[in-house]
Structure 1
Amino acid sequence: MKIGLYFGSFNPIHIGHLVIANHLQQNSDLDEVWFVVSPHNPFKEKSTLANDYDRLHLVNLAIEDYPYLRASNIEFNLPQPSYTIDTLAVLKEKYPDDEFSLIMGMDNLKGFQKWKNHEKILDNYSIYIYPRVGAEPYEWLNHPKFNFVEAPIMEISSTFIRNSFKEKKNIRPLLPMKVWEYLDGSSMYK
């Protein structure tokens, strides 16, 4: 099976994440897309993160009606911060018959060379790149491991959602219904 790995904090997951994952699964050769919930991205501040299991629960709520989308907590038991190359090694060991690819926004290309062992990732994995406003792929445009895909451009950020929750704004249209219902009844981002 060919699996696209969509890494992120998903703090919280929102409709932009779902639109991208669904679009890529439906319009590429990926059989499934896995949301890999990261406990600690080495490029982000951990103090703003909600509890790992709460974020995983929200992802599971969001994808209940999508049989080809999955949630993964594979990084929860790995050393932190989480490095993609280490997670890929564990996944390959655990699922030797599956083929893994990465999914990332074009904005991540700018810092891709700073990723731990990025050359090894490029040697062994294909990467699906979805568009982001203002991001250009210049140096990577002709790289054989990068698949630049046409996908809806989603300019929704989890930071905006968290801040809006604190300000008691109605952000219901930006969240999957089950995620909205859960968050509306909790103090998670208030």
Structure 2
Amino acid sequence: MKKIGLLGGTFDPPHNGHLIIANEVLTQCQLNEIWFIPAYVPPHKQKMNVTKLEHRVNMVKLAIESHPSFRLSTIEIERKGPSYTYDTIKSLKVKYPDVLFYFIIGTDMVQDLPNWKKIDELIKMTTFIGVDRPGFSFKSKYAHVIETVEAPLIDISSTFLRQRFQNKQSTRYYLPDNVRQYIKENHLYESTRSSPNY
């Protein structure tokens, strides 16, 4: 039976932290593929400004294009509305009944699991894989159902990178060069000041 890991997120922008986590889970858990799932509307970011879908999808495509086991899934974009994991997993299990799905989360998400939509049903539908993130722990009443993976603690966030772009600070080595070039060409994350020096 095929084993696929799911890595959801806003990916605004995708960065090397995402790619390292995905690759560690792929190899340590012996999965066949990792699917990157850009959120249509992240439930926890409904009131925040998020970069247009077209750009976020294009950036993910560029970020993963060189890895033979990484794929893009637009299931949440096609469904529209708030991107709840329960709805995503339910749809995927109907569409791919012969696939085992593993949902990848960071320790920052573990503590919030009790607030997830239909979490008690969700943990029966998929296996959660937890990856360490600096400053967080796996303390949760759902910790016992989470498989843990050790990965290099790369403390990069999309928020951090957006600020670096806006402040015209170097982003080299934080994200793939082709994604950096795309951001430059499409003037993403620019402030109202003069053109950024990437």
Deviation at 1:38, TM superposition (A): 0.3
Consecutive unaligned residues of structure 1, counting only runs of 5 or more, are none
Alignment map for 1:8-157 (pairs within 5 Å): 8-140=9-141, 143=144, 145-157=145-157
Alpha carbons of structure 1 residues 141 and 76: separation in structure 2 relative to 1, 3 Å = closer
Deviation at 1:112, TM superposition (A): 0.5
Contact 1:75 1:87 in 2 (8 A): yes
Indicate the residue corresponding to 2:195 in structure 1: none
Deviation at 1:50, TM superposition (A): 0.6
Determine if the alignment matches structure 1 residue 161 to structure 2 residue 164: no
Deviation at 1:79, TM superposition (A): 4.0
Letter in 2 for 1:22: N
Letter in 1 for 2:92: L
Letter in 2 for 1:43: H
Deviation at 1:76, TM superposition (A): 0.8
- Using the alignment, how far apart are the partners of 1:42 and 1:50 within structure 2? 15
Moved more, 43-52 or 151-160: 43-52
Moved more, 105-114 or 92-101: 92-101
Contact 1:13 1:58 in 2 (8 A): yes
**Which portions of structure 1, spanning 4 or more consecutive aligned residues, are displaced by more than 3 angstroms?**
139-142
- Using the alignment, how far apart are the partners of 2:143 and 2:63 within structure 1? 35
SS of 2:5's equivalent in the other structure is: strand
Deviation at 1:138, TM superposition (A): 2.2
Contact 2:110 2:139 in 1 (8 A): no
Deviation at 1:98, TM superposition (A): 1.1
Contact 1:106 1:131 in 2 (8 A): yes
**TM-score, normalised with respect to structure 2:** 0.91
Contact 1:23 1:151 in 2 (8 A): yes
Letter in 2 for 1:9: T
Identity %: 38
Length, aligned pairs only: 189
Moved more, 12-21 or 91-100: 91-100
**TM-score, normalised with respect to structure 1:** 0.94
Alpha carbons of structure 1 residues 140 and 154: separation in structure 2 relative to 1, 3 Å = farther
